């Protein structure tokens, strides 16, 4: 498969719409049912819907409007903000679409909005603007020169792109490395975008793993020009519900609500009922992430040390990435040596052209299975040394 990384450039329509190579590659490999799955980008947690829904389970398909408060209120109470700053969507991907539409400006004939998009990235983040008649320019976050600590930005390179742009789309807890911004880089991004009147759309589906720590600060708290996107999918392990949200200024929220009503009309009642049942229990997922980190990460650290592989461990989250030995291609590794040992992980080339030799691994699974998975990943690594 060629060009597996996200696309940038000119807007696309019809037959020019780019594939989401990550999903086109990933879903068939999930269907292989490899025994040791280190590919997840979110928590694997068995939610007890029968208990949480109790007597409402039988009514899951019934209309919710007469029985439940506005779903925005659930999010507002969890994050301690006004419900007027929230728009509920069918997942984070739709939230990205809606938020971007709410930020775009009218253009003259032949002109387009230019969107700066952080790279590496999950392809829908990069390619959403292309479907909305925008052109994109990537701005890079780079691995640390000494191999340890946050991935960094080149401010001169970013400024050159931002001066051409109307919107910046970012993923603070970066995929595939799992690192959040270095503090001075973050401050520079926020202040520079404010000075240039650029809206920031921050895809924050991973940062609730930091909730309750001193480092936790969603971007919507950084100013009227900053927008947070989140959902129940990644950190909370509830992707099938398709429940996401936008947090923004009241002006942007007003625009976003009109766009949502145009595209979707109203949220699905089963989604609202299921979300309402689990919202009071969401901290269970965050506690489970802490447990998995405490139990699983030492096993991964020790294995990589045995193989003399540099491991730049992110302080939060459920996944990280490392470079394969001898510059080995990660796609070849996953479909070759890993497959032979029934291991599934994600090639870094799914997120950036520069990460062909990187592998993303997750520690968000049950510890006994994770321990077995790491032993088999080690066998695969030994075979390519």
Give 64's Cβ-side CA count (13 Å radius).
Answer: 20
Q: List CB contacts of 82: < 8 A, sequence separation 6 or more.
A: 76
Neighbours of 186 (CB within 10 A): 18
**What residues pair up with 169 in beta bridges, in sequence order?**
117, 201
Could you give the residue range(s) of every CATH 3.90.1150.10 domain in the chain? Answer: 14-45+283-384
CATH number 3.40.640.10 given to 58-281:
yes
For residue 270, the model assigns a pLDDT of: 84
Structure tokens at 302: 């020790």
For residue 268, the model assigns a pLDDT of: 84
At 229 the three-state DSSP class reads strand
Q: Are strands 226-231 and 199-203 parallel, antiparallel or unpaired?
A: parallel
Q: Which of 359, 353, 375, 345 is nearest to 309 (CA)?
A: 359
Length in residues, the chain: 385
Give the CATH number of domain 14-45+283-384: 3.90.1150.10
Q: What is the pLDDT of residues 19-48, one digit of tens each?
A: 898 899 999 999 999 999 999 999 999 888
Q: 296-323 in b/e burial notation, b at 16+ Cβ within 10 A?
A: beebbeebbeebeeebbbbebbbbbbbb
Where would I find the beta strands (DSSP E) of the chain?
36-37, 86-89, 114-119, 135-142, 152-153, 167-170, 199-203, 226-231, 244-247, 319-323, 343-344, 346-347, 358-362
In DSSP notation, 68-96 reads S--HHHHHHHHHTS-GGGEEEESHHHHHH
Which DSSP symbol is given to 188? H
Distance CA 250, CA 84 (A): 6
Could you give the residue range(s) of every CATH 3.40.640.10 domain in the chain? Answer: 58-281
Q: What is the pLDDT of residues 233-287, one digit of tens each?
A: 999 999 988 999 999 999 999 999 999 999 998 888 888 888 988 999 999 999 9
Distance CA 287, CA 282 (A): 9
Structure tokens at 291: 């447990």
**What residues pair up with 322 in beta bridges, in sequence order?**
359
Neighbours of 327 (CB within 10 A): 8
φ, ψ for residue 277 (rounded to 5)?
-70, -35
Mean pLDDT per 10-residue section of the chain, whose length is 385 residues: 84 90 92 96 87 64 64 94 96 96 87 95 94 96 96 98 98 98 98 98 97 96 98 95 96 96 88 88 96 98 98 98 96 97 97 96 97 98 94
At 234 the three-state DSSP class reads coil
């Amino acid at each position: 498969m060629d060009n597996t990384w996200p696309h940038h450039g000119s807007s696309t329509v019809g037959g020019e719409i780019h594939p989401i190579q990550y999903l086109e590659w990933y879903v068939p490999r999930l269907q292989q049912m490899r025994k040791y799955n280190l590919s997840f980008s979110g928590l694997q947690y068995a939610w007890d819907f029968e208990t949480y829904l109790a007597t409402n389970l039988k009514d899951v398909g019934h209309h919710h409007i007469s029985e439940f408060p506005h779903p925005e209120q659930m999010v507002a109470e969890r994050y301690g903000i006004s419900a007027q700053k929230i728009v509920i969507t069918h997942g984070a991907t739709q939230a990205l679409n809606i938020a971007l539409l709410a930020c775009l400006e009218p253009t003259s004939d032949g002109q387009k909005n230019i969107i700066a998009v952080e790279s590496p990235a999950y392809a829908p983040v990069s390619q959403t603007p292309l479907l909305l008649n925008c052109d994109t320019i990537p701005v890079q976050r780079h691995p640390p020169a000494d191999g340890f600590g946050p991935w960094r930005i080149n401010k001169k390179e970013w400024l050159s792109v931002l001066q051409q742009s109307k919107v910046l789309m970012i993923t603070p807890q970066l995929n595939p490395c799992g690192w959040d911004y270095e503090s001075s880089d973050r401050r520079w991004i926020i202040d520079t975008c404010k000075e240039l009147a650029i809206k920031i759309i921050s895809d924050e589906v991973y940062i609730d793993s930091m909730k309750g720590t001193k480092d936790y600060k969603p971007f919507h708290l950084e100013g009227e020009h900053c927008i947070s996107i989140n959902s129940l999918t990644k950190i909370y392990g509830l992707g099938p519900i398709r429940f996401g949200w936008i947090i923004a200024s009241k002006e942007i929220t007003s625009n976003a609500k009109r766009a949502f009503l145009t595209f979707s009309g109203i949220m699905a009642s089963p989604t609202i009922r299921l979300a309402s049942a689990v919202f009071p229990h969401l901290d269970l997922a965050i506690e489970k992430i802490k447990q998995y980190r405490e139990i699983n990460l030492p096993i991964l650290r020790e294995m990589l040390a045995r193989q003399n592989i540099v491991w730049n461990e992110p302080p939060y989250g459920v996944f990280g990435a490392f470079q394969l030995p001898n510059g080995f291609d990660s796609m070849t590794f996953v479909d070759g040596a890993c497959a032979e040992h029934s291991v599934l992980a994600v090639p870094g080339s799914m997120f950036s052209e520069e990460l062909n030799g990187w592998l993303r691994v997750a520690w968000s699974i049950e510890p006994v299975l994770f321990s077995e998975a790491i032993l088999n990943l080690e066998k695969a690594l030994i075979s390519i040394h």
